[in-house]
Amino acid sequence: MAKSKVETFIGFCVKARKITYGSGAIDTLKNGVYLLIISADISENSKKLALKYKNRFSCPLIVCKSDFEAAVNKAGCKMAAIRDQGLARAICENADDNYEIYCGGEI
């Protein structure tokens, strides 16, 4: 099956090392987060944490309804932060049925 545009842009973030995996690593970031992506099967506590990060960085939050671990190429990952402004904008603009914008924010 062909990759969606969003998954392609996430792949570009992985190649450019402009993605941070997991809540622990995201918590250490001071600024420079332009988009948060979470898995649809994330726990309630982690969802609250993602909303906290969304408010801290003033960025959009997208929920991935499909296989999130395959999209970010990291096993066991439920949350990721995109640290490239152009790629974050491209991901938001090309969000399809598998990616739902949970909360808006400025990019």
CATH number of 5-103: 3.30.1330.30
Domain ranges for the chain, please list them: 5-103
Greatest CA separation found in the chain?
A: 38
**50-89 tens-digit pLDDT:** 999 999 999 999 999 888 888 888 888 999 999 999 999 9
Q: How would you classify the pairing of strands 19-21 and 79-82? A: antiparallel
Residue 55 gets the label, from left (phi > 0), alpha (psi -120 to 50) or beta, of alpha
Q: What is the dihedral of CA 56, 39, 87, 18, to 10 degrees?
A: 70
Single pTM value for the model: 0.88
